[in-house]
Amino acid sequence: MNKTPLRLHPLGKLLLILLVMALGFPCWDVRKLLLLCALVLVLLALDPGERLPLRVLRLSLLSAFVFLVTLLIGDRLDMAFGAALHLELMLLLSLWMFRTPVSELLRGLQSCRVPDGLLLGFLIVFRFIDVLFEELQSIRLAGSMLPRGSLSAPKKLYRCLMLPFVYRLFVLSDQLSLSVTSRDFGAAKRSQYRENPIRARDLITLAVSAAVCGGIVWMR
C-alpha cells in the first residue's frame, strides 16, 4: 500500500519554526524549554526520514558540550541549562527544516512568488550545507593522515583545512554554475510537475502545534 507521508507543508514548517523560536527564545525556564524540545521531537518523528535517533543524539552531544563550557565559564547551573536547551531547540528546529526535500521547499517558496534569483541562491545554500559539512569531514580525515608534529597548528589549519576547502568551494561553484547555465535557468517562467497545495491536515497540525507551544510558554 502506498502511504502518504505525514510531512507538513514547507510554509507551515516555516511559520511553526518562527513561532517556536519567537516564543522559546525569550524563555529561560528549563522545564518549558524541555517541553518545547519534546514538542519539536514529536514533529520530527512524524516527518519520515533516515537515521533520526543518531542525528538527534549528535545534536544533543553538541548541546551537552555547550552546557559544560557555559558552566565552566559562567559558573551558574540555570544559565548553563538555559544556553544548552536554547541551542538544542535551535538545532532540532533546523534539523526539522533541513530534512525537507529541496523540491518540496522549492514548490512552497515558488507559491510565495519569491524571485527566481533569490530562490536559486537560497536553495543552493540549503542543499550545500550538507555537502560542505561532508567536504569538511573528508578534508579533516585526510589531514589526520599526516604524522603528528609535521606541521605547526596554524600552518596545518591553513595547509590542510583552508586551502583544500577553498579549492573545493571553487570547484563546486564552477560545476554548479555550468550546470545552471546549461539548463538555461531564468530564461522562462518555471512550471511545476506536481502541485503541493496546503491541505486541511497541514492547517490542523499547524494550529494544534501552535496551541501546544503557546500553552507550554504561558503555563505557570
Partner 1 sequence: MNKEKKARYFTNKDIVRMAVMAAALFVVSCVTVPLVLGVPFPGIRTLACGLFFGVIIALTYARVPKFGAGTITTLICSLPMAFFSPIITVFTTAAGFCTDLYFLLVGKKLTVKTITGLGAVLMGTMMPIAAAMGAIFVPETELTWADLFRNPLYLAIGFFGSLILGALGSFLATKIFKELKGYE
Binding region for partner 1 (CB under 8 A): 14, 17-18, 21, 25-26, 28, 62, 65-66, 69-70, 73-74, 79-80, 82-84, 86-87, 90-91, 93-94, 97, 117-118, 120-122, 124-126, 128-129, 131-133, 136, 158, 162-163, 165-167, 169-173, 176-177, 180-181, 185-187
Task: Compare residues 46 and 133 and give the one whose CB is closer to partner 1.
Answer: 133
Would you state the cell numbers that stand for residue 161, as one nine-digit string?
583545512
Provide the H-helix boundaries in 51-196. Answer: 52-74, 77-98, 102-110, 116-144, 153-156, 163-182
CB 199 within 8 A of CB 9: yes
Task: Compare residues 131 and 219 and give the one whose CB is closer to partner 1.
Answer: 131
* Shortest distance (Å) from residue 194 CB to partner 1: 24
Apex 12 CA angle, 61 and 107, nearest 5: 105
Reference 136, options 128, 127, 124; nearest CA is: 128
Q: Please tell me the distance from the alpha carbon of residue 192 to that of residue 110, in angstroms, as a whole number.
A: 9
Task: Compare residues 44 and 172 and give the one whose CB is closer to partner 1.
Answer: 172
Task: Compare residues 1 and 125 and give the one whose CB is closer to partner 1.
Answer: 125
